[in-house]
Structure 1
Amino acid sequence: MLKRINPVLPELILELVLYGLVIQFTGVWFVEDRLRYSTGLWFGIVVAGLMAVNMAVVILDTVELASEKGASRKSALFSAIRYIGVVVAFAVTGIFDLGNLITMFIGVMGLKVAAYLQPFTHKFITKYARRKGELSADKIG
């Protein structure tokens, strides 16, 4: 389903999860409150994933409605809703003490890291997929 929205979106979500695992396993040993560290981080990763899906949907809708006048306004509206959603997620986490806000911020910033790494990981994934396809074709023939 995610690939229909944007072909790169599944890779981006995978990179977010891998980023979360790296941050989780490297940082959890250095904090006293491991539960709040972990919940803050994974709340941030979830928020980043939802932001990525929302951005992909908005881009798809904007491209499809490019000829209409309201496309730019709709894109701006959904961007504002996305940012309000992030602020609400941080507020809820902070008010109800559900997790560490710093690690939540680090989790949300994982979207930036994943976006910057995406061209490199895409190249690696496609190279691996081609190699795997060649190996299976050789075994059959």
Structure 2
Amino acid sequence: MSRFRTAAHLVSWSGFCPLMKQSAGKLIGRNARTKGNRYIGAVLGESSTAAGHTKTRLGARYRCLAKRRGKPKAQVATGNTHLKIIHSLLSNPGMRYEDLGPDYYETRMHHPRQVRNHVKSLERLGYTVTLDATHPTEEEVA
């Protein structure tokens, strides 16, 4: 891995980074990958799809992105994350990979903001909302 100084260099070399071809705010042509190692692309695409069926952080990332953005973009984003993990592990021989779990993204969400947004959405629909917390919030615990 000494050939690639950073994980971003590896991702760029493999051609598995997101593309956006635009000029002056206008999209130009298709956003398809044209360069890069096609064998790595094939393996990363397959492993990303397979990761979507697992209960891991990468699986949660794939499912969330596939639902919002579509499967091809989810494959690229998850493959990008795969490459970053691979670069980190191969660059540091003593490092071990420890999965952060399928609930990694839910635990990082800003709870008060989510509550506020849901309350506003319900009020826009004509409901009166009364909140009763079943679990103490971080402010109440402190």
Instruction: Normalising by structure 2, report the TM-score.
Output: 0.27
Report the structure, 1 or 2, having the larger helix content.
Answer: 1
Which of the two has higher C-alpha Rg?
A: 2
Instruction: Normalising by structure 1, report the TM-score.
Output: 0.27
Higher relative contact order (CA 8 A, sep 6+): 1
